[in-house]
């Protein structure tokens, strides 16, 4: 019997690559959705969407770099209409916790007329090992605004497991899974865990949102910095300083602790210690 493929939009992203690896390990047909894939998908080129969606059973939807980017919600609405027209049966959306624009995106998917699952995520642990904070960590500092605000930081591997469950198992349609780690940590706490895992002295350096903006702008440009700084201002005000049970509800197990993430990432060579 021919099994329809699952489309993963954002195939080269942090969560998308992990979702693809898990689906392919299960022997399921997967269509990679990226600008460079065999059947390309480009958010900025709607003419690519039809071929990417054709014959697809379900899709994992991530918007790069974030649903807060201008025009993202409108593009998501157009994509949902295209998915419905193509006969896609189920959309799994990655959303951001405490973000106004992400909530607007969630409503678009809820009202799309296609079955859905929403995975609303806390801050990624892998920002330290694969993202924009890796270089500062190697220098022994964790420069972040927000003061002593606590965040229930989550391991992306848990997000990928939840997404794969939603795409491949019964019982997840119509669900909102707000996914967090198992405990609240300040950035100083995170620096302590990273120090313990790496053997390097790493300290949290409180910075202003203006300094945060300048750091991102230096590598990503002003436009990207504007959006990520707006998200940081919005979400690092204490609104996310609580735990949610999304991982437990979706998977029947607790989420992975940040200390375990840090140890595993260090052992995998995320932060090579100079000899």
What whole-number percentage of the chain has pLDDT above 90?
Answer: 89
C-alpha dihedral sign at 82, 44, 17, 135:
negative
Whether residue 163 contacts residue 119, with contact meaning beta carbons closer than 8 Å, is answered with: yes
pLDDT at 265 over 90: yes
Express each pLDDT in 78-104 by its tens digit.
Answer: 999 999 999 999 999 999 999 999 999
Express each pLDDT in 56-65 by its tens digit.
Answer: 999 999 998 8
The per-residue pLDDT for 274 is 43
The per-residue pLDDT for 224 is 84
Express each pLDDT in 24-48 by its tens digit.
Answer: 999 999 999 999 999 999 999 999 9
Domains of the chain: 6-122+155-179+242-255 (3.40.50.720)
């Amino acid at each position: 019997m021919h099994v329809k493929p699952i489309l993963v939009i954002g195939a080269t992203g942090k969560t998308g690559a992990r979702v693809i690896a898990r689906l392919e390990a299960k022997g399921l047909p997967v269509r990679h959705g990226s600008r460079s894939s065999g059947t390309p998908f480009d958010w900025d080129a709607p003419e690519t969407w039809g071929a990417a969606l054709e014959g697809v059973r379900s899709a994992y939807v991530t918007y790069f770099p974030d649903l807060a980017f201008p025009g993202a919600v409108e593009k998501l609405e157009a994509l949902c209409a295209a998915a419905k027209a193509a006969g896609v049966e189920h959309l799994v959306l990655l959303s951001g916790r405490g973000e106004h624009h992400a909530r607007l995106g969630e409503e678009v998917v809820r009202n799309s007329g296609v079955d859905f699952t929403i995975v609303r995520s806390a801050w990624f642990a892998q920002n330290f090992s694969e993202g924009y904070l890796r270089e500062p960590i190697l220098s022994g500092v964790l420069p972040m605004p927000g003061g002593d605000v606590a965040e229930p930081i989550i391991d992306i591997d848990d997000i990928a497991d939840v997404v794969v469950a939603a795409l491949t198992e019964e019982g997840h349609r119509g669900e909102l899974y707000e996914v967090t780690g198992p405990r609240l940590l300040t950035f100083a706490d995170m620096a302590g865990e990273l120090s313990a895992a790496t053997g390097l002295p790493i300290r949290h350096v409180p910075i202003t949102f203006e300094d945060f903006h300048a750091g991102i702008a230096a590598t990503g440009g002003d436009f990207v910095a504007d959006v990520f700084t707006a998200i940081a201002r919005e979400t690092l005000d204490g609104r996310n300083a609580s735990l949610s049970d999304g991982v437990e509800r979706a998977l029947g197990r607790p989420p992975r602790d940040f200390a375990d993430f840090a140890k595993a990432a260090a052992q995998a060579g995320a932060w090579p210690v100079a000899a």
